[in-house]
Amino acid sequence: MSFASSIYLTGAEIGLSVAALVLLLVTAWTGRAATRMITIAAVAALVGALVFTLSLPNDGVAANAWNGLIRIDGFALFAKSLIYLATIACLIVAPHYFEKRGGYRGEYAVLMLFNAVGMGIMVSAADLMALYVGLELSSLASYVLAAFVRDNTKSSEAGLKYFILGGLASGIILYGVSLVYGFSGTTSYDGIRAAFTADFSTGAMFGVVFVLAGMAFKIAAVPFHMWTPDVYEGAPTPVTAFFASAPKVAAVAMLVRMATGPFGGQIAAWQQIVIFAALASIVVGALGAIGQANLKRLLAYSSINNVGFILIGLAAATPQGVSGVLVYLSIYVFMTIGSFVALLMLRDGEGNPLATFDDISGLSTTSPALAWCLLALMFSLAGIPPLFGFWGKFVVFQAAVQADMIALAAIGIAASVIGAFYYIKFVKVMFFDEPKGAAPAKAPVSHWVVLGLSVLVISPLGYLLTPWLGNLADAAAQALFYAA
């Protein structure tokens, strides 16, 4: 692969990196005077990266860049498109939140761009070194974003917790990577797969377990989920919306590529781990959410619960299972961004958040449009038909059944009923309780646009996308099974 071809294939990452560096200099020179212009420029850079990614050839043949460090295939293009789309939405809704608190600075948009670069490298990596570089670039930006409101104790606490536990997870991954390298003799995904297919020793299995354990932290899967409620509650709400969407997509895509690529020849070594993490995440996420009064903490447990359903698709270890994961992720991005944007809009006249169930009592009376949007989002997250969230659960359960994992699908379906309880609680409080406060303050148009688009996608109209989305997901999943 020539130097020019490598530059072309990684044009999105290079363009975002250049844009981030230029905007960082502009921020340093202008201070807060050009903050809005910097945000608009960052959104434009992400839109450009999304358009460029969609324009790359996707003929089913993987293309390698930078001597095999990066692989551009249908799977990478699908995941990166979702990442850029989610990052754009989260960046659009951020300025109004921070400007109300006097804490918005241009560095926020720059950190989002660097995070997008890291996530793009993560999902395209075909070598352990490239994977780790992308992972750390994304993680370092995320630690700062979590603590972005420096004068807020909860935000600082969230950033510190995320940094400490994230550093621990990175160390676990790095130790696993060293074991994998030691027993395979290479950091290339293809080389690792070939080496493990020929000889898979106990030491190599330990390496696989450590790598998967570290990645389980990144996706907030049980038993590595403990950071999620505290970080989601303490971080600024736009940052929480970002953490629950784009980095989640990147981490899941990274895990799927690792499991089906370098570890794809030893499915039995990791399949039981994934099955346990899936069921545990579904149950712990559902049970943990039931007793929550804080809305952001409840959505944090909902995120853990949804990771469990996603992992059921991976546990199938088939192209249909990976396709189900991608379909679920696509729908999940719209559901979670819509939910957190709705929380952003739940503010009183003084800008204070309406953060608990008591605060949203009787919301259907004080703000009916917002209440109905939240109802649709919660029912979709619960997987209640005819909303589009039902289709996400259906495809992963269908993949499990096709892989002869009927017991796993049955347990997952039964456990999903538990989750319906706390989603329905939203509806009960908003529509059947008496209002206990004033109506939420008027939200900006940008918030209503993002919320409206999210609700439109997860509505029954979303089913019109199923043939198109299914075909894209099937082609992207098939790209991972080139060596199968």
Burial class from Cβ neighbours inside 10 Å (0-12, 13-18, 19+) for residue 138 reads: buried
Confidence of residue 351 (pLDDT cuts 50, 70, 90): low
Lowest mean pLDDT across 316-320, 362-366, 444-448: 362-366
* Tens-digit pLDDT profile for residues 303-329: 999 999 999 999 998 999 999 999 999
Nearest to 56 by CA among 120, 129, 149: 120
Please give the Cα distance from 399 to 327 (Å, whole number). Answer: 12
* Tens-digit pLDDT profile for residues 60-93: 677 888 888 999 998 999 999 999 999 999 999 9
The residue ranges of every structural domain in the chain are 266-484
Residue range 3-18: mean pLDDT, rounded:
92
Q: What is the pLDDT of residue 76?
A: 93
Nearest to 60 by CA among 484, 467, 475, 483: 475
Residue range 264-275: mean pLDDT, rounded:
88
pLDDT above 50 (res 366) = yes
Please give the Cα distance from 267 to 259 (Å, whole number). Answer: 8
**Mean pLDDT computed over every residue of the chain:** 89
Please give the Cα distance from 295 to 347 (Å, whole number). Answer: 13
Please give the Cα distance from 130 to 269 (Å, whole number). Answer: 24
Please give the Cα distance from 6 to 11 (Å, whole number). Answer: 8
Q: In sequence order, what DSSP letters do the residues of 452-471 get, joined into one string?
A: HHHHHHHSGGGGGGHHHHHH
Q: Which residues are within 8 A (CB) of 468 and not within 5 positions of it... i.e. 6 or more apart?
A: none
Any alpha helices (H) in 235-294, and if so which ranges?
237-243, 246-260, 267-290
pTM of the model: 0.93
Please report how the helices 466-478 and 74-99 are oriented relative to each other, as an axis angle in degrees rounded to 10: 120
Residue range 18-32: mean pLDDT, rounded:
90
Read off the tokens for 276.
């346990």
Please give the Cα distance from 239 to 236 (Å, whole number). Answer: 5
Structural contact between residues 286 and 415, judged by C-beta atoms closer than 8 angstroms: yes
Confidence of residue 481 (pLDDT cuts 50, 70, 90): confident
* Tens-digit pLDDT profile for residues 213-236: 999 998 989 888 888 888 888 888
Residue 482 vs residue 241, higher pLDDT: 241
* Tens-digit pLDDT profile for residues 147-159: 888 777 888 888 8
Confidence of residue 484 (pLDDT cuts 50, 70, 90): very low
